[in-house]
Structure 1
Amino acid sequence: MSDQSLQLEEVPKASTPKRWIIAGIAASVLIGVVVVLWLFLWGSSDEAQKPAAKTEITHESLEPKVAQEAADYVPMPRPFLFNATGDGRTRLVQIKVQLLVRGRDNSRIARKHVPLIEDAILTTFSRASIEQLATLEGKEQLRNEALQGVQSALSKVEGRSVVERVLFTGFVMQ
């Protein structure tokens, strides 16, 4: 081994009050940067400085605004069974129907006039041919004709069309 020994030199430590001054300056600079960034990015806008307009709160304003009344579905009590002719033969057809109405009043009226509605729909269905029922366009045409028949019948009795749509919920052709 060599006769040389390692000698460690001591680095003088900064005095405690000097550390506190440096830490205080760094903290105030950091706080200043944060405040400037906050004001720049999320600072007060013109909308925040405007006084809030007084609005009167009423019972009607608390209810959700609905463009139309809620939809209700009125099922026909039994499916429609009828014979359709075409292609040189007769086929048995069964269609389940529900009516789309808006509001409780229209729902009540539709339920009240179920026999009248069934008559209008069955009259329309009995004119259908197999060719018409075999295509999607034909079924859509039949649905629209049934809607017109129902609306016409209800308009004569109630003075307004109550039903918005006629929906086929089941369709079987044998």
Structure 2
Amino acid sequence: MAEEELQMEEGGKGKMMIIIIVAVVLIGGGAAAYFLLGGSDEPAMEDQAAVTQTGSDGAPTMSGTNKGTALYVAMPRPFVFNVPGQGKDRLAQIKVQLMVRGTDNEETAKMHVPLIEGTLLRVFSSANADDLVTEAGKVSLRDQSAREVQKVMKETVGNEVVEQVLFTGFVMQ
């Protein structure tokens, strides 16, 4: 009889320990969720787009407009073209993605892919192989590509649509 009471006391202690452990885990999990998911003093992602713009003095400025989410439109195939150089002509291959803001601009860019491809091919084929060997030449080509695509889209659609032209692959032989 004494042994049965001793076993019941030990069983009760084991159940009590399990209840305490479960309570500690629940309280700890609740506290972690509160700190991770709770509000913070940092601006939300939608507000950060307005904060990241800088003024002429380099200080961040607040713009009242939210440009929208950055979306990327991949060109369906890489651009392959000959590039004249001083010593010899070279073959270049560039993979391009377009950065646009908002789903409306994404759909517009997808609808006008042939126009954008033609514009990019025209800009790429006017490049010089000696310039494309340097990083500055690649950056210049990328910036010129963005300006030309924006100009053509503004004439066609009425707004620039494309914010940046990004080179995701660049090979020159």
Determine the structure 2 residue equivalent to 1:130.
129
The corresponding residue for 1:54 is none
Partner of 2:171: 172
Q: TM-score, normalised by structure 2?
A: 0.62
Give the Cα–Cα distance (whole angstroms) in 2 for the partners of residues 64 and 122 of structure 1.
35
- AA in 2 matched with 1:78: R
- Read off the aligned partner of 1:156 and give its amino acid letter: E
Partner of 1:145: 144
Map of 2:103 onto structure 1:
104
- The CA RMSD measured in Å over matched residues stands at 1.4
What is residue 18 of structure 1 aligned with on the other side? none
Residue matched to 1:53: none
Instruction: Provide the rounded CA distance (Å) in 1 between the counterparts of 2:96 and 2:160.
Output: 18
Give distance in 2, aligned partners of 1:78 and 1:86: 25
CA–CA distance in 2 between the matches of 1:64 and 1:84?
A: 42
> Residues 1-174 of structure 1 correspond to what in structure 2 (within 5 A)?
65-66=46-47, 67-174=66-173
Matching residue's letter, 1:166: V
**Given residue 71 of structure 1, which amino acid in structure 2 is its aligned partner?**
A
Shift in alpha-carbon separation, 1:131–1:109, aligned structure 2, 3 A: same
Identity value in percent? 51
1:82-121 Cα distance to aligned partner (Å, 9 max, x none): 1011122111000000000000000000000000000010
> 1:65: how far off?
4.1
Alignment: residue pair count: 112
Task: Name the SS for the 2:68 alignment partner.
Answer: coil
Distance 1:91 1:68 in 2: 39
- Closer, same or farther in 2 for the Cα pair 1:158/1:83, shift >3 Å? same
Higher helix share: 2
TM value normalised by structure 1: 0.62
Q: CA deviation at 1:131?
A: 1.1
Displacement of 1:64 after TM fit? 7.0
Where structure 2 has 5 or more consecutive residues not aligned to the other structure, the ranges are: 1-43, 48-65
Q: Deviations over 1:60-81 (max 9, x none)?
A: xxx9744430000000000000
Secondary structure of the equivalent of 2:84?
A: strand
